Amino acid sequence: MKKLFSTFCLISFIAVSASFAQTPVLPEYNDDYQGVQSAILDYVEGLYLVEPSRIEKSVHKELRKRGYWFDEKENDYRDNMDMNFMELKDLAATWNKDGKQANEFSPKEIEIYDIHDKTATGKLVAEWGIDYFHLAKIDGKWWIMNVLWQSHNN
């Protein structure tokens, strides 16, 4: 009887837990998947192609971006490098202006980890390093809200 009661409790717990869990949506044909991928692609190509308008199109004005840049001379990271929306937009207008920072062979590997009704997470491997994203769906459009990044440590 005790074993039957324990089994019943376990099954009930699993059923209740499953009803609260959201199932991530990841198929590539899904509109949300395409929206998240497009936002991240606009972000990286805005910097690579010197197109700040693509930052405006994909990054929310309340962006919080924090990063860790590896200083080869010091052989250590400089941390807590914060950036807001306007600083990112200004950077996109100048970072690759001479074409020496990125080119057609520069990486832009996008991974999307999780998509729900209103939130998504993703990763980008780019010329400067690795960015992790939090995105939010606002009025039907996906926006990058938070970025946590670090440079490559050659």
| Mean pLDDT along residues 39-61 | 98
- For residue 21, pLDDT beyond 80: no
| Residue pointed to by tokens 């019943």 | 8
| pLDDT tens for each residue of 65-105 | 999 999 989 999 888 789 999 999 999 999 999 999 999 99
- For residue 8, pLDDT beyond 70: no
| C-alpha Rg value of the chain to the nearest Å | 20
Beta-sheet pairing, 119-126 with 59-71? unpaired
Q: Supply the pTM of this predicted model.
A: 0.81
| Residue pointed to by tokens 């994909």 | 58
| Mean pLDDT along residues 125-132 | 97
Task: Give the rounded percent of residues in the chain with a pLDDT score beyond 70.
Answer: 81
What per-residue confidence (pLDDT) applies to 153?
Answer: 80
Question: Strand pairing partners for 130?
Answer: 125, 150
Residue 58: both structure tokens together: 């994909």
Report the CATH fold assignment for 26-151.
Nuclear Transport Factor 2; Chain: A, (3.10.450)
What per-residue confidence (pLDDT) applies to 81?
Answer: 85
| Mean pLDDT along residues 108-132 | 97
Residue 22: both structure tokens together: 């959201």
Q: Beta-strand (E) ranges in the chain?
A: 59-71, 76-83, 108-115, 119-126, 129-138, 141-151
> Please, are residues 85 and 62 in contact by the beta-carbon 8 Å criterion?
yes
Burial of 93 (0-12, 13-18, 19+ CB in 10 A): middle
What per-residue confidence (pLDDT) applies to 115?
Answer: 95
Domain ranges of the chain: 26-151
